[in-house]
Amino acid sequence: MIRSELVQRIADENPHLYHRDVERIVNTIFEEIIRAMEAGNRVELRGFGAFSVKRRDARIGRNPRTGDAVSVEAKAVPFFKTGKQLRERLNGGSE
Amino acid sequence: MSDKTLTRMDISEAVFREVGLSRNESAQLLESVLQHISDALVAGETVKVSSFGTFSVRRKAARVGRNPKTGEEVPISPRRVLSFRPSHLMKERVAAGTRR
């Protein structure tokens, strides 16, 4: 499923909404999650999962082709942890 | 850099502000977005959200685990796990945002 199919499924269920509004709603949801993480915040959507930011220390990396040492600066990376309910559903657990 | 936890309330509040639906309907729409993503994943589909990231389901084989406290061997049954791969855009924005 891709973004446009998700929008379509929501639009089908909500015939009273304009398609472009459904698009804005879906975009806003994803945009807000990114915006929160940009600010270093966590987004917890209970049952679904939690988006958080993990910090990676600076390290000495290597160019895999030449073997040269290169310094990699400290950075923050997005992380997602699956929620309990979704994890159980994936394994045929409680629906 | 702050360290807050946002919840459904905060996200649906943003939908409410952006689109001008009622708070109640905004919350319901957020719920159905999460529901549709979950349903697709449970059905084994990969969910690709451009400029956000990709959710995919991976199968893990059965293996023998160990209770770290007692050292006892316990069988771990085959399972499906969800993995999320952030888009380049998300990675860049998160890295840039938290560097400030």
Shared-domain flag, residues A53 and A93: yes
pLDDT digits (tens, 9 = 90+) for B3-38: 799 999 999 999 999 988 999 999 999 999 999 999
Shared-domain flag, residues A61 and A35: no
pLDDT for the residue A41: 95
pLDDT digits (tens, 9 = 90+) for A47-77: 999 999 999 888 999 999 998 999 888 899 9
| Residues A54 and A76: beta-carbon distance below 8 Å | yes
Shared-domain flag, residues A59 and A71: yes
pLDDT for the residue B2: 63
Phi, psi of B73 (to 5 degrees): -80, 135
Shared-domain flag, residues A25 and A49: no
Shared-domain flag, residues A29 and A65: no
Residue numbers in B near A37 (CB within 8 A): 90, 93-94, 97
The torsion region of residue B89 among left (phi > 0), alpha (psi -120 to 50) and beta comes to alpha
- What the block records as the tokens of B81 is 């796990």
pLDDT digits (tens, 9 = 90+) for B32-78: 999 999 999 999 999 999 999 999 999 998 899 999 999 899 998 89
CA-to-CA dists, residue B63 to A35, A38, A53, A88, B76, angstroms: 39, 38, 30, 19, 5
Q: What is the CATH number of the domain that holds A88?
A: 4.10.520.10
Shared-domain flag, residues A29 and A5: yes
Burial profile B12-47: b = 16 or more Cβ within 10 angstroms, e = fewer:
bbbbbebbebeeebbbebbebbbebbbebbbeeeeb
Segments forming the whole domain that contains residue A48: 42-95
**Mean of per-residue pLDDT scores for chain A:** 93
Burial class (CB in 10 A: 0-12, 13-18, 19+), A59: exposed
ipTM: 0.88
Shared-domain flag, residues A27 and A49: no
Give the whole-angstrom CA distance, residue A95 versus residue B23: 27
Gyration radius from chain A CA atoms: 19
What is the number of domains present in chain A? 2
Res A19 pLDDT > 70: yes
Nearest-Cα distance to chain A for B36, in Å, is 7
| Residues A11 and A17: beta-carbon distance below 8 Å | yes
Shared-domain flag, residues A18 and A53: no
Q: What is the pTM of this model?
A: 0.89
Shared-domain flag, residues A88 and A49: yes
- Asked whether the beta carbons of residue A76 and residue B98 sit closer than 8 angstroms, the reply is yes
Percent of chain A at pLDDT exceeding 70: 97
Nearest-Cα distance to chain A for B57, in Å, is 8
Res A95 pLDDT > 70: no
Shared-domain flag, residues A64 and A20: no
Q: Which of A36, A49, A91 sits opposite B6 (nearest CB)?
A: A36
Give the whole-angstrom CA distance, residue B95 versus residue B100: 9
